[in-house]
């Protein structure tokens, strides 16, 4: 798994702040039967890379619960705040992308790989 923060304008608008995500194989990700009916997809096409991102959100509470892309169909991008543990005790950013959009007031994280755009994954 990869821990990533994204500072792009789309994450800012979608999540209300920079996105904190865990990347994992899509094969390891499943919605529970009861939650499947509540998930809808917003097709975000106004991305910097021009690659569509499917932002899946809960129609009950509005939270973004999963992001997928056509660019890399093997990866599930999971907002860490939606996990029951919230990443407490294990999540810390390894990679920051879209750093050209990072706000001055945001913390500097020691040891992260910083990219002005999006890094290429697998």
Residues of the shown chain interacting with Zn ion in the complex, contacts defined by CB under 5 A: 6, 8, 11
Q: Which is nearer to Zn ion, 13 or 37 (CB)?
A: 13
Q: Which is nearer to Zn ion, 1 or 44 (CB)?
A: 44
Which long-range CB contacts under 8 A does 107-114 form with residues at least 24 apart?
Answer: 109/5, 112/5
Beta bridge partners of 43: 54
Least spacing, CB of residue 58 vs Zn ion, in Å: 19
Least spacing, CB of residue 39 vs Zn ion, in Å: 19
Least spacing, CB of residue 37 vs Zn ion, in Å: 27
Q: Which is nearer to Zn ion, 6 or 66 (CB)?
A: 6
Sheet of 64-69, strand order: 39-44, 53-58, 64-69, 75-79, 19-25, 2-6, 95-97, 113-114
């Amino acid at each position: 798994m990869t821990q990533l923060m994204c500072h792009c304008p789309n994450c800012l608008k979608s999540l209300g702040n920079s996105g904190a995500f865990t990347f994992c194989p899509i094969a390891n990700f499943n919605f529970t039967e009861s939650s499947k009916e509540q998930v809808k997809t917003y097709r975000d096409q106004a991305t910097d890379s021009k690659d569509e991102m499917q932002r899946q959100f809960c129609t009950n509470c509005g939270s973004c619960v999963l992001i997928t892309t056509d660019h890399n169909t093997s990866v599930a991008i999971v907002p860490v705040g939606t996990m029951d543990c919230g990443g407490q005790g294990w999540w810390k950013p390894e990679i920051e992308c879209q750093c050209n959009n990072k706000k001055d007031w945001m913390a500097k994280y020691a040891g992260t790989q910083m990219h002005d755009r999006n890094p290429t994954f697998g």
